[in-house]
Amino acid sequence: MFTPVRYSSEDEDSARWEGFAFRPGDIVISTRSKSGTTWMQMICALLVFQTPELPAPLGTLSPWLDWLITPRDQVFARLAAQSHRRFIKTHTPLDGIPLDPRASYIVVGRHPLDLAVSLYHQGDNINRELVRKLTGQPEPEGGQPPRPGLHDWLVSWVESQDRPDDQLDSLAGVIWHLSDAWARRTSPRPADRGQPDSGQVGQGQGRPADGGQRLAVVLVHYDDLCADLDGQMRRLAGLLGIAVPESAWPGLVRAATFDQMRARAKAQVPDPAGVLKDPAAFFRRGCSGAGHEILTSAECARYYARTARLAPPDLLDWLHRGSQAGPGWLESAAAG
């Protein structure tokens, strides 16, 4: 029997998943922080409701189940009351949550260096004092030490020896989250470079095309969303068994772009408790390449050497997209 690993931090606890009642068709969005979580929530919302005018704020429609700031019973009650196809946010790797064959699991991957840069900037936008108050955490003894500059912080992040079970937002934690999902994936396969698997993931109400009980695990790359948002949204609709009228696609895709999401940040940023200092700053840049702009070629080389010891080559090939060539590759932005 599968026993989930428990991951916890000052504001998250994966044990809150215990006892959650899954329904056929549930969608679980499992990502590391700053990998495109809110973007994928928005895409799922657009596919489910098929209108840019959502019936409620995104954080209400797609609650963050493991977040300690919102009482667990309140989150469960909100999800139980939903009559639409549910899509639930988590930052927990798949080995830390229940794996139910009635659900589909979407894991978004982003180049870890770009993820880390976004994570750094996000840290400046969080009201830590309010987070501690809402979660009952004590004030740090001696006050909060000053943060190093971005370059030094990023070098330290690459070289840190933190374990995933101690710090999921460490480099090892990011790679573990993706490695675990990669081993369970039903799409993409190594040979298809992100193209749909015919009948290999949940159709209709999250069930396999043959009616069996295979677990549906879909990997999506942040850069694929940047490069071809329309194509990736259509791909996800097919994998999730959601039929969308052709006339609806232009409006749905436009609503998922970076500019549109930033323009409506107040309704789409996952911040019901008001812990963000500036909701619009949550959508900071929305493109790839920031990590390579900050590190030297030698520092980038150390990053790639480190990840080569943490993950299998096929996953790294999918994740890095040839960026080992060095600074200067930038992808066009859509959302982040």
Tell me the per-residue pLDDT of 176-214, one tens digit each, with 9 for 90 and over.
999 999 999 986 543 333 333 333 333 233 333 334 456
**196-205 CB contacts, 8 Å cutoff, 24+ apart:** 196/235, 196/238, 196/239, 197/239, 201/104, 201/239, 201/240, 202/25, 202/103, 202/104, 202/239, 202/240, 202/241, 203/240, 203/241, 204/25, 204/241, 205/24, 205/25, 205/85, 205/102, 205/241
The predicted-structure confidence for 13-68, as pLDDT tens digits, reads as follows 999 999 999 999 999 999 998 899 989 999 999 999 999 999 999 989 999 999 99
Q: What is the pLDDT of residue 284?
A: 53
Q: What is the pLDDT of residue 145?
A: 73
Q: Is the pTM of this model over 0.85?
A: no
Nearest-10 Cα torsion for 92, 95, 97, 101: 130
CB 109 within 8 Å of CB 182:
no
Low-confidence stretches of the chain (pLDDT beneath 50): 189-212, 325-336
91 among known catalytic residues: yes
Among 84, 91, 151, 292, which one carries the catalytic annotation? 91
Q: What is the pLDDT of residue 200?
A: 32
Q: What is the pLDDT of residue 147?
A: 81
CB 315 within 8 Å of CB 167:
no
